Amino acid sequence: MRIPIPTGRGGLGVGGLLLALALGWVFGINPLTLLGLLDDGQVQVPTQSAPQRPAGARDSPPKDNDARFASVVLASTEDVWQQELAQRGARYEPPVLVLYRGGTRTGCGIGNAAAGPFYCPEDRRVYLDLDFFAVMRDRLGAGGDFAQAYVIAHEVGHHLQNLTGTMRKMAEARGRLSERQYNVLSVKLELQADCFAGVWAQRSQQAKGWLDRGDIEEAINAAAAVGDDRLQKQSQGVVVPDAFTHGSSAQRVQWFRSGLQSGRLEACNTFAGERAGGR
């Protein structure tokens, strides 16, 4: 993936049961809630004195290539979604990307590596512990630049759902649904974010032509690596579909491909039809 990395100015501006706990909500909303991208060019980087850092958080402000890479990918998502919404007569309000290592306070509770990357609808921020990229590479076998780009694009997909009211409807439905019924909706929400990530990839490639051969395979591998069935098999040896919250490996790959091949938001209606049912 030929992404230019900016340097030199300003702040940056994405075994067993333990593994299941660390990755159960991977690429999703903070499990404490389930329920601006760049804000004027700004990516927030918590520092030791920042009020959002909890006690005990490591003093490791992310000022490395992973952070610069995340800021470039995020800016690309902003370009795509601003254009898309403008064509629909709407204004895209980008989220803020908060990069950290160790832990940070969020509008949805404490963010840490165990939660994985997540989007908080309460403060409209994408939270990314950059150490998660090492988890992807070393524990999940899902390394590569475009695998990381997919993670960021998926979380921005949740922001798009927040702007369009989908997440509000999810929150309203939670109180009247059983856990199993809500899990079905959660799967649909996550698969739609995967599809949105695919739409971004196609649109971004059209605009910049920065994907090399094999980049798409990296994203597909990452999507498959965090399927509920694969994680359940790793952690407990059996697969329990009724407990899925993000979708199977096959479903996540399917919906990412759907967005990638179509390049259209209309192809991402995971809430309609049998195909979206998640089972």
User: Do the domain assignments include residue 79?
Assistant: yes
CA 13, 153, 242, 164 torsion-angle sign: positive
User: Do the domain assignments include residue 3?
Assistant: no
User: Do the domain assignments include residue 6?
Assistant: no
Q: Three-state DSSP class for 251?
A: helix
User: Do the domain assignments include residue 271?
Assistant: yes
Gap between the Cα atoms of 188 and 270, Å rounded: 5
User: Do the domain assignments include residue 182?
Assistant: yes
One-letter amino acid for residue 21 of the chain: L
User: Do the domain assignments include residue 138?
Assistant: yes
pTM above 0.85? no
Encode pLDDT of 158-185 as tens digits: 999 999 999 999 999 988 999 889 989 9
Q: Which domain holds residue 257?
A: 17-277
User: Do the domain assignments include residue 9?
Assistant: no
- Is the pLDDT at 151 greater than 50, yes or no? yes
Encode pLDDT of 1-16 as tens digits: 544 433 333 322 223 2
User: Do the domain assignments include residue 132?
Assistant: yes
Domains of the chain: total: 1
